[in-house]
Structure 1
């Protein structure tokens, strides 16, 4: 004899009671969802402070991890799909191209600048015979930063930028000193080795394979692709129109939040460089922990170290950071040249990457 059937209404009673309990008590205190919700609130709070305390007209971020993508914005005029100027984030792309060429044995990091650009780097104590490609990548070349003279506001060709730098004495070969000139020279070397511009090589090797459809090297084009918002100088003037030759291979890139996240996830995830060369990129010993090759680390209060780069150019400040495996990545931006409160950037990174219990 079969057991009598239990009416569906009786089966529904315990389910309803369980749901009512969840409604009354909320998520378990230490559940991953609750922790992520609390972290999201913390991230949004810091993002808002970029506007209320950091002097930015608007701010936005996109985070990607195993749980998916999260976009947030504050202020007005920023959309997830906007194109913007990425400034020195360009250096991560240029360094990747150079390391790919090294992996292909088309150049060596121990090559001197003189080997590729004979007679070009000399004067005021600077000597291209004693500057290696590794030193350029790590900012230990001693070459003066040409933007300290131009203010990042004067369009120049690569040879002009180098000539400006060579009117100044070396800042100390072998000592870490961030210099945009280093990456302008690397751009010239990429062209000498490949016969193509650094932009063409980056497009072929990175942008096209990763389908970074919002990323480009604009050359001398002063307008941004659509869609885009407005960009403002510190005095509030509109600087959306800008000649990217103010930065060249050191900061020309235009991109989107999603594209930068995809790039750093692929780079740190091992999709763009063989493991040996990725380890070289992350080696910060020459810069005493401050810089690798087109990437730099930040150790957060919780012990997590994130890797990435920032970018500052007139009307735009961008910061990308990712875990060393590339599985968790964040890019945030503001539509002015910087954030006036320096504590906000590390606070935002900590809010995103440090596990948090509500």
Structure 2
């Protein structure tokens, strides 16, 4: 899920800078506590929470009811950064090449409606420039599907132009299939072995068909208030299956951006946005904030949950925030929060 309106929320940002801060408050997270409550009052969400790590300083803040730091929640398209990391690790091990066509691994899978897997490379899937239509435009993230069903839905829709950036969850469903073909293991098993276990992400899992969340967890709601805490993760698969926690996502993005998960050459590949004309790297995207700082990360939306992780290059400063509903009513709140956390304050 690419940036929403994640660039210039300057009026809200300036209002935040001018807001009074409690005497003696030194941390950026403490300063944004009053602002976080706007996700409830202006954004229309039941509850919001954030976890900010800046070096050795770690700060948690929450607004609304029924949300805690330890909660497990669905992370939606943040799953894509995990999948991309696995693919890049396989490339670093010379088990695949990003310039390989999909047909090399999944012969004949991508055929129809202007789509040809002999011309679509793995890099194009990673950067959303392969032209595959997004299957979720039909399923609306509410219908569980197998990977083959997701691809079939995609192929029944008009493709976009090869080489043009067009965000599509189908790309990462196919990459999940490639991982299995190359390794002999599911994308979930490879992500556990390569990322979750080494980083000790004890709250992170790929639940498969399990509809319940691990304890502890709060409730999850659609925009109209329906309770969707129970959800079949196969509505998203390799494009959005992940269940995780605030602490684990901060740890993951800090490790990724610091080079702990990828050799430097392959981290540079991940952060290369040329294929998507600056909009997206490989499973991660940049946002340039009003102060000129650029942060890297991803967002994720799935029924009952919206999540955003962002980190500085090097991974020293990383922020994850979440709300326990599908959508935020005011789209200016997210960029303003990122600016408040990552832009230096003066005076």
Q: TM-score, normalised by structure 2?
A: 0.92
Quote the Cα distance in structure 2 between the aligned partners of 1:183 and 1:317.
Answer: 19
Q: CA deviation at 1:340?
A: 1.1
Aligned to 1:232: 221
Large movers: runs of 4+ above 6 Å: none
Specify the alignment match of 1:268 in structure 2.
Answer: 257
Residue of structure 1 equivalent to 2:59? 70
**1:181-240, CA deviations, whole angstroms, 9 ceiling, x for partnerless residues?**
000000000000000000000000000000000000000000000000000011101000
Instruction: Say if 2:29 and 2:60, in contact at 8 Å, map to a contact too.
Output: no
Between 63-72 and 239-248, report the one with greater CA deviation.
Answer: 63-72
d(CA) in 2 for partners of 1:309, 1:167: 28
Does structure 1 residue 305 correspond to structure 2 residue 322?
A: no
Corresponding residue of 2:120: 131
In the aligned structure 1, how far is the partner of 2:158 from the partner of 2:29?
48
The equivalent position to 2:319 in structure 1, one of 319, 326, 330, is 330
Q: Verify the 8 A CA contact 2:165 2:276 in the aligned structure 1.
A: yes
Equivalent-residue separation in structure 2 for 1:144 and 1:285 (angstroms): 21
Provide, for residues 228-285 of structure 1, a one-character-per-residue CA deviation record: whole Å limited to 9, x for no partner: 0000011101000000000000000000000000000000000000000000000001
CA contact (8 A) 2:54 2:316 kept: yes
Report the Cα distance in structure 1 between the residues aligned to 2:107 and 2:30, rounded to whole angstroms: 55
Partner of residue 346, structure 1: 335
Q: How much has 1:45 moved relative to structure 2?
A: 2.5
Aligned to 2:245: 256
Aligned match of 1:204: 193
| Other structure's SS at 1:311 match | strand
Structure 1 unmatched ranges of 5 or more: 1-33
Number of equivalenced pairs: 326
Partner of 2:12: none
**Structure 2: stretches of 5+ with no match in the other structure:** 1-22
Pairing of 1:12-161 with structure 2 (within 5 A): 37=26, 39-161=28-150
Single out whichever of 348-357 and 214-223 deviates more from structure 2: 348-357
1: distance between equivalents of 2:28 and 2:196?
32
Q: Which deviations, in whole Å up to 9, do the C-alpha atoms of 1:43-66 show, x marking residues without a partner?
A: 223211111000110000000112
- Provide the residue aligned with 1:296 in structure 2: 285
CA distance in 2, matches of 1:38, 1:79: 20
RMSD, aligned CA: 1.3
Structure 2 residue matching 1:139: 3-state secondary structure: coil
Partner of 2:183: 194
Tell which structure's C-alpha radius of gyration is larger.
Answer: 1
1:190–1:196 contact (8 Å) kept in structure 2: yes
User: Which residue of the other structure, out of 156, 159, 162, is the alignment partner of 1:170?
Assistant: 159
The structure where helix makes up a greater share of residues is: 1
